Structure formats: structure tokens, C-alpha cells
Amino acid sequence: MRRFCLALIVSLIVSPAAHAHFAWLGHFCTLTMNVSADEVESKKSPKKSPEKKKEMKHEISASDLLANARSARNVWEVGFPGFSADVMVTVGSKTIEGKLRVSDEGELTWILPEGDMAKWAKSTLGSLVGHRMPTGDLGSAASYVDQARNHPLGRKISLDQDSMGSVYRVQDNTIRQVNREAGPSRFTITVLQVQRDERQRYLPTTFSVASWNRKTGALEFSLVAHHTFQRVGGYDLPKRLVEVNTGPKNLYDVKEIKLSNLRLNTSKVSAEAANSK
């Protein structure tokens, strides 16, 4: 215990008329009190809560945060047999129909009339299938770009060594944004909505893509996409893909891919055999 003393002086200055009799009148009082050493120290420097100190000391690394988000994706895991479907592609008011077979390794075989519509459908669905196939090493050396934690899309992370200058945003174990450079362009993919399965793995369902010219900064194109899925035999397969595209010279179009009669492949038949049916 530490003892503190407080000296109290009360003085009264009298009027000049009474000065002959009284110069001043004073009362002295000394007060003492006991204060614990802990209280004194707490007043000097408030201690940080153990929770905050632990959080600061054990913050997850950028590399682990990104790896966790990658591993939380809903992918078609080992044992996936592939699937087949009937396909309808519509751009504006024009429609073409065909068939699709996706192998257990993610290879796509099409029966579809050739042309720009088929080219777009093959590229779009090929990208979706590629993102659903499992990948090997999920880890990448990465660093936090800044310390901001309140961005609507989460923490900003850059890959330490990447030829495309990849920068991600991660929130709630989900990759919400990807920024990359590709040749004369740079593009941003922003995931606005996801759906989760019973294991809390996520599938992007609504996202936007925008591309700019790296030299001039001019917007090259922008699109918004919405994907829906159907559960078949424990796998979430693409059911409908819709894109709204905008760009220079009054570009505006709406494109759609519909897949029906979705079924898992029962055997690894050759692409030639599948096409002959």
C-alpha cells in the first residue's frame, strides 16, 4: 500500500477596515489515504486485454488466409465421374442447341453448330468447369497490401511473385475479388454472391468482370453474370448461366446457356462414342 497526503489550506483575507485587527486567518488540514499499488499502475498505463494482445500476436498470415479461402471452394473432388447434358445457347433472340460431355478430368466435348455463339459458350462453360476442378497446391506466398479491415470485400492481399500482378480480396473464407494484368489489359472479377453447401464450401453465383486498357485507362468491357446450379449425385452442376455485357460503341447484349437432362457419366466412354449417340 502507498500513502498519499493532501494538505488543505483555507485562507480568509479580511477587508482593509479590519486589517488592523486581523491580517489573515488560516486553517490547515492534512488528509491521508491508502491506495493500492495495482490501482496506481492501472492509472499510469491501462493494460491491453489478453484477447486483444493474443489477436495482435497471432493474426493469420496473408498466405494462410488466401489458402483457406481457396480450400473452401466447392470443387468436384477426386472421384468425380464427369457429366453430360443437353445444351441451349441464346444470344439476344438467336438460339442454338446441342450436347455437352464433361470428362472426369474436366475435358469438354461438344456437339454444337459452329459460330460466334458456340465459341462464346465453349469459352464460358470451359472456364466454369476449369474453376470447379480440384487443384494441387493451394498455397502461395502472399502479403497484406494494407492494414484496412473494414473494406466491404475484405482484406487486400497480393501474391509476392506473380507475373500477372495478382491482387485478391478475401472475406469470410471467401475470395471476393481478383485483380490481374493480361497483356495490354487489366481486369477485375468481383464476387457479389455465393451459395454454400452442407460443408460450407462456396460457389460464386453472381459476379462482375471489368477490363481496362492499362495504358489509357479506358474501359474495354464490363459484364455481370449469374450462375445457378443443380445438385446431382452429390455434385453441384451448372444449370443456367446468364451474362449481361456492356462496352464501347453502345455494346449491350444478353447471353444465356441452359443445361438440361443433367446426368453423371456412368462409364469413361470415349468422346467418339459419346458423339455418335
Cβ of 261: how many Cβ atoms within 10 Å?
9
Residue of higher predicted confidence among 176 and 3: 176
Range of the domain at 180: 56-276
Same domain, 36 and 92: no
Q: How far is CA 170 from CA 167, 177, 229, in A?
A: 10, 7, 23
Same domain, 39 and 134: no
Same domain, 110 and 90: yes
Same domain, 161 and 256: yes
Same domain, 34 and 170: no
Amino acid (1-letter code) at residue 94: K
- What is the pLDDT averaged over residues 256-275? 75
Tell me what the pLDDT averaged over the chain comes to: 83
- Strand, coil or helix: what is 171? strand
Determine what percent of the chain falls in helix, strand and coil, rounding each to the nearest 5: 20, 50, 35
Residue of higher predicted confidence among 193 and 36: 193
Residue 36 CB-half CA count within 13 A:
3
Same domain, 7 and 68: no
Cβ of 78: how many Cβ atoms within 10 Å?
7
Same domain, 126 and 63: yes
The pLDDT-based confidence of 50 (bands split at 50, 70, 90) is: low
Same domain, 22 and 156: no
Same domain, 19 and 61: no
- Separation of alpha carbons 150 and 189, rounded Å: 20
Same domain, 112 and 146: yes
